[in-house]
Structure 1
Amino acid sequence: MPEGGGPWSDDVLAAAAAEVAAWEAGGERIAAGDDQVWFRVLPATADAGNLPLLVLHGFPTCSFDWRLVVDRLRAERDVIVLDLVGFGLSSKPDQRYGLRGYADGVEAVVAHLELEYVDLVTHDLGDSVGGELLARSLDGTLGFGIGRRVLTNGSIYIDMAQLTVGQQLLLGLPDEQNDLVGADEGVSFANGVAGTFADDAEVPVVELAALAQLARRDGGLSLLPRTIRYIEDRRAEERRFTGAIEVHPSPVGVVWGDQDPVAVHAMAEHFVEARPDTALTTLEGVGHYPMVESPERFADAVLAMLDGLEPLDPDPGDDGDLAGEPAEADGA
C-alpha cells in the first residue's frame, strides 16, 4: 500500500499549511447547538439550473478530501462542503459522538443557507450520515428535500466492512479522549489513510500532510476513539440507516473504487441487488478515497451520474410528505 511518508520535510509541511489556510479562508463557521460547524459554498461557474450539491465527507478525514474535485463539480451547480463536528475545521468537543449529532450539524448548515432542496454526494462516514438524513426524510422530520444522490465508497452494509487494524484498535478503546492517540504527529494518521488507497495510487504527499494537519487541529486525533463510535450506531440501528439508504425514493447512483480494502466492491454490487434501479459506475484501479486518488475520473463519474438521474419531484403529493418506512436491511 502507498505510504504517507515521513517524517515530512519543512517544505512539505509549509506547503500543506498553505493549502489548509487557503481552504479554511474560503469558508465560515456557524453555531449548531453548542458546536461550531465549518462549511464552504463554492458557487457554480455557470448557472444551469441544477440543485445545489451537498457533499459529506468520511472518517477520519474531512471536507479537504474533496479539494481536488470541487472545481470540476461546481461547473454547473453550487457545491456545499462541510466538516462534521469533531473533524477538520469544525469544533472538536470532548463528548459522545453519533450519527444523529453529525446529521444535526448538516441540517444546521442547510438551514443557515436557506436551502429547500439539494442533491447529495456522500463518502464513507458521510454515507451513514446521509442514511440518517434519509431516515428523517422518510419520517417527515428533515428540514429540506433530497433530489438525487450519489453514494461513494463507504460501509453501506456494516457487516461486510473489512475494518482496518487501526479502526479495530480505536473501537477497542474506551469511548473517551485518548492523549496517546493524540500524540501522533500525523505521519501514522496519514499512513493509515494511504493504506486504504489502491496499491499503485499516486497521491502528492502534501495532500496527506494537509489532511494530517487538519486531523490534529484542536486535538482531533485524541478524539478518534470517540468520533469512530458511529460504527456502533450502525450496528445497533442497521435497519434505520441502511434501510433508508435502500428505500428512499430519491434516484440514486453509485460510484465506487474497485480496490477498496475496507468498503469492498461487493457492497456496491449488493446495494444494486437491493435497489435494482441503481446505476453503478466502477472506477477500476481505485481504492477507498477516489476523490483523492483519481480526482478527474471520480468527478467526471459523479457528474455523469447526477446528469443521468432525474431528481425527485420537490412536490410529490398534496401533503408534500415522502411516505415510507425503512426496509429491513441486511446486517446487524
Structure 2
Amino acid sequence: MDQGTGGQVGTGPGAWRDPAVAAWAAQATTVVVDGHDVAVWDVPAGEGERHEPLLVVHGFPTSSFDWAHLVPRLARHRRVVLFDMLGFGLSAKPDRRYTMALQADVAEAVVATLGMARLALMTHDMGDTVGGELLARSQAGQGAVEVTRRVVTNGSIYIEMARLTDGQQMLLAQPDEPLAQGVGPELMVASLVATLAPAHGDVDMAGHGELVCHRGGDAMLTRTIRYIEERRADERRFTGAIEAHPSPLHVVWGPEDPIAVAPMADRLVAARPDATLAWVDGAGHYPMVEDPEAFLAAVTPFLES
C-alpha cells in the first residue's frame, strides 16, 4: 500500500505549493507496471523529428522534475520521454524492496508501452545505475531496447570513491522498512541544496523536495536508498556495462559535486578512452538545475551529432 504521510497527496494544480510542479504534474500520463502507476512524460519533437528518441532517467531522491525546465529545448528535434521510477516523484510509492532490476523493468515497460525500440539514453545519479542495468541486459542479448548513444551525468559510478552525506549514511543505517515519520519538506530541501555548488546555494529546490515527500516518499527513503548497497555488491555489472557498451558515451559532470566527486568522471573516461568529457564549470551534483544553459551546451552537440 502506498504511504500517505509526509507530503502533498493531491495531483491537481491546487494540491501543489510550487506552480512549476503543478504545471509539470499536469503534463504527466500514467503507465501501469506490476500493478502500480508510473508517471510518464512523452514529449514530441517541437520543430521536426531529426534524431532518435531520448529516454531520460532521473536519480535519487528526486524525480523527472529535475529536467522539466530543459525538456522544451531537448525536444526541439527529437521525441523526449521521461518517467518517475517507482518510489519517486509522481509515481506510486509502494512499501516493497526496490532494486535496480525493478527500475530497469519499469523503464523497459514504459519504452514498450510507447512503442520505442531504438533510443538515446541520458541518466543522472541513481539513474546511471539503472542505465547500467539496461546496458548489461543489452550486452547479454536480453534487453528490450537498442541504445544508440548515451550521456552519463553526476552519479556514483565508482561507489568506493563516493563521499556519502551524513543523511545518506543515516538512512542506510536504518532497517530496510519505511520510517515511522517522513523527514519533511524543509529538511529534504536543505539536504538537496547541500549537494549543489556553493555558488548555487540560492537555487530553488522547493519543488524537488515537495515531490520527494509526495505520497509519503520521504518515509520511503530508507527503502529507495538501498540502491547504494546493490551498487556495492554488483558494481562490475553496472559500471562494467557503462564502460563497455559499444554505444558512444559522453560524460557531463558538475566538478563541485560533494558526493560523486570529479575524479569519478576522469576514471570513467580513462576506462573508456573513446568517451568524451564535458565539465559544467561551477556546478555541483545537479548541473542540469544549477546551470541549465551550460548543461545544454555540454550535451546538445553530442546528442545532435
Pairwise TM-score range, normalised by the shorter structure: over 0.9
The aligned amino acid for 2:197 is: A
- Name the counterpart of 2:290: 293
- Name the counterpart of 1:282: 279
Q: What is the deviation of 1:14? A: 8.6
Contact 2:86/2:92, CA 8 A, preserved across alignment: yes
Contact 2:31/2:37, CA 8 A, preserved across alignment: yes
How many angstroms apart in 1 are the aligned matches of 2:16 and 2:178? 30
User: TM-score if structure 2 supplies the norm length?
Assistant: 0.93
The aligned amino acid for 1:282 is: W
* Alpha-carbon distance change, 203 to 121 in structure 1, aligned in 2, over 3 angstroms: farther
How many angstroms apart in 1 are the aligned matches of 2:172 and 2:16? 33
Contact 1:149/1:251, CA 8 A, preserved across alignment: yes
Segments of 5+ residues of structure 2 without an aligned counterpart are: 1-13
How many angstroms apart in 2 are the aligned matches of 1:172 and 1:144? 36
Q: What is the deviation of 1:34? A: 2.2
Segments of 5+ residues of structure 1 without an aligned counterpart are: 1-12, 309-332
How many angstroms apart in 1 are the aligned matches of 2:127 and 2:17? 24
The aligned amino acid for 1:254 is: V
Contact 1:203/1:293, CA 8 A, preserved across alignment: no
* Alpha-carbon distance change, 15 to 230 in structure 1, aligned in 2, over 3 angstroms: closer
**Paired-residue identity, %:** 50
* Alpha-carbon distance change, 15 to 215 in structure 1, aligned in 2, over 3 angstroms: closer
- Name the counterpart of 2:4: none
The aligned amino acid for 2:288 is: M
Q: Tell me, yes or no, if structure 1 residue 36 matches structure 2 residue 37.
A: yes
- Name the counterpart of 1:263: 260
How many angstroms apart in 2 are the aligned matches of 1:49 and 1:26? 23
The match for 1:247 among 241, 244, 247 is 244
- Name the counterpart of 2:152: 151
Runs of 4+ in structure 1 off by over 3 angstroms are 13-17
The match for 1:214 among 211, 214, 219 is 211
- Name the counterpart of 1:227: 224
- For these two proteins, the number of residue pairs brought into alignment is 292
How many angstroms apart in 2 are the aligned matches of 1:193 and 1:204? 10
Contact 2:49/2:79, CA 8 A, preserved across alignment: no
How many angstroms apart in 1 are the aligned matches of 2:174 and 2:87? 17
1:68 alignment partner, SS class: helix
2:94 alignment partner, SS class: coil
Contact 2:193/2:201, CA 8 A, preserved across alignment: no
Q: What is the deviation of 1:76? A: 1.1
- Name the counterpart of 1:176: 177
User: TM-score if structure 1 supplies the norm length?
Assistant: 0.85
- Name the counterpart of 1:327: none
How many angstroms apart in 1 are the aligned matches of 2:226 and 2:184? 23
Contact 1:176/1:226, CA 8 A, preserved across alignment: yes
Q: Tell me, yes or no, if structure 1 residue 193 matches structure 2 residue 192.
A: yes
Q: Tell me, yes or no, if structure 1 residue 110 matches structure 2 residue 111.
A: yes
> RMSD of the alignment, in Å?
1.4
Contact 2:279/2:298, CA 8 A, preserved across alignment: no
- Name the counterpart of 1:236: 233
Q: What is the deviation of 1:15? A: 7.7
